[in-house]
Structure 1
Amino acid sequence: MSRPPIHDVPLAEAPIRLGQFLKLAGLAEDGAQARRLVEDGAVQVNGRVETRRGAQLQHSDVVAVGELRARPVPS
């Protein structure tokens, strides 16, 4: 079974904080949910669990929550 495609999220500038990106990409409904996902270890960045909501993402970093994946790309 194949994984869903990675959703590209255009950003004018990088870096962006993980919590902000989760909301922007639609991986979290709001800041509170983003915080819970990160604290619960449910977020991966480039295949590794990320527990810092303020972690800085660069263009092309892949963020995953469950089977959903997104990455910031230049706009």
Structure 2
Amino acid sequence: MSTSQTPGHRDIVPITDESIRLGQFLKLAGLADSGAQAREMLEDGLVAVNGEPEERRGRQLRRADLVTVDLPAGEVRAVVG
């Protein structure tokens, strides 16, 4: 995984449109290296949006949504900015 975040750290990741799909956001935020890895993370139940488990890559995120990924090293969070 390419993320350089410290577990528990929260980054604000800016987007250019009003919304972004969750799979795209995972890559943009550096939480997944590829779409395939994002899909696997979602299928494995490692991703939550605003505290709720999420499995849909196409879930539309908007500014201020909080995405949490449960990694072996600890939780990593990113906010849609």
TM-score by shorter chain over 0.5: yes
Q: What is the Cα-based RMSD across aligned positions, in Å?
A: 1.1
1:58 aligns with 2:68: no
Count of matched residue positions in the alignment of Structure 1 and Structure 2: 71
**SS of match in other structure, 1:54:** coil
Note the residue ranges of structure 2 that are not aligned, 5 or more in a row.
1-6
Return the letter of the residue paired with 1:14. Answer: E
Does 2:46 align with 1:42?
Answer: yes
Q: Among the aligned pairs, what percent are the same residue?
A: 55
Deviation string for 1:34-63 (max 9, x for gaps)?
A: 000011111000001001110000000000
Normalising by structure 2, we get a TM-score of 0.82
Q: Give yes or no for the alignment of 1:18 onto 2:22.
A: yes
The ranges of structure 1 where at least 4 consecutive aligned residues each deviate by more than 2 angstroms after the TM superposition are none
Query: 1:14 and 1:38 mapped to 2: Cα distance?
Result: 23
TM-score of the pair, normalised by structure 1: 0.89
Secondary structure, in 3 states, of the residue corresponding to 2:41? helix
Letter of the structure 2 residue corresponding to residue 15 of structure 1: S
Q: Which residues of structure 1 form unaligned runs of 5+? A: none
